[in-house]
Amino acid sequence: MSKVALVTGGSRGIGAAISLALKNAGYTVAANYAGNDEAAQKFTAETGIKTYKWSVADYDACAEGIARVEAELGPVAVLVNNAGITRDSMFHKMTREQWKEVIDTNLSGLFNMTHPVWSGMRDRKFGRIINISSINGQKGQAGQANYSAAKAGDLGFTKALAQEGARAGITVNAICPGYIGTEMVRAIDEKVLNERIIPQIPVGRLGEPEEIARCVVFLASDDAGFITGSTITANGGQYFT
């Protein structure tokens, strides 16, 4: 039987490419999403991948949603914590809500999703947790104190949990995408994107969602069993760690 992979924010952007790549690699995929019903329905119609609605910022909703996925598809073997939001603002203008929303989704979302699957993975002696962090968690980004803090936190979470999971056959890794051509990045003011951001990318272009999805498929595979606590940096040369 094929392994079950659960991808948060899995019906749009990088998440949609990840869901599809995992399906093509033979996994049974569940794509979680939080809000956009229309996009989710379209995604299911086009790909045959089941979509499940809940917010990763809500612990109880995550526990219930994961229970539903596992009842319908089987135990989750691969969890991809991809869901993320931006609420960009220079810090002097940033509101407490902008701070909290981003921390709740982009950082606490990892706790909320991973905690309910962790015991089962330990019992079965197999698991793959793949956290989608960001270049801006590695280097920091003006206008993103909230996002950079959350994404840096995701890397600490990855390294701590990797040590706990190792003996139980669970690997925990992170991917730090650079600027990828998704709605999130295209929402940046065009002048800021073209004049300040793209010129900083040595390969001279935005990344493709599929370029991140291929990293996920590798980390999920049996071939990657000795890799844990690591970060794959995929940013077109914009920042070296």
Q: Which residues bind ligand CAA (CB under 6 A)?
A: 86, 88-90, 134-136, 141-144, 147, 179, 184-185, 188-189, 192
**Of 43 and 147, which CB lies nearer to ligand CAA in the complex structure?**
147
**Of 57 and 175, which CB lies nearer to ligand CAA in the complex structure?**
175
Spatial distance between the Cα atoms of 214 and 132, rounded to a whole number of angstroms: 13
Q: Name which of 4, 17, 2 is nearest 82 in CA terms.
A: 17
We find the least distance from the C-beta atom of residue 191 to ligand CAA, in angstroms, to be 9
We find the least distance from the C-beta atom of residue 133 to ligand CAA, in angstroms, to be 8
- The distance of Cα 238 from the centroid of its chain, to the nearest Å, equals 20
User: Residue 8: left (phi > 0), alpha (psi -120 to 50), or beta?
Assistant: beta
**Of 134 and 173, which CB lies nearer to ligand CAA in the complex structure?**
134
Q: Name which of 239, 147, 240, 228 is nearest 201 in CA terms.
A: 239
- Concerning whether 52 is annotated as a catalytic residue, the answer is no
**Of 44 and 141, which CB lies nearer to ligand CAA in the complex structure?**
141
Q: For the chain, first and last CA: distance in Å?
A: 39
How many angstroms separate the Cα of 10 from the Cα of each of 36, 67, 131, 133?
11, 17, 13, 15
We find the least distance from the C-beta atom of residue 115 to ligand CAA, in angstroms, to be 24
Write down the catalytic residue from 52, 147, 179, 239. Answer: 147
We find the least distance from the C-beta atom of residue 172 to ligand CAA, in angstroms, to be 20
- Active-site annotation, residues: 147
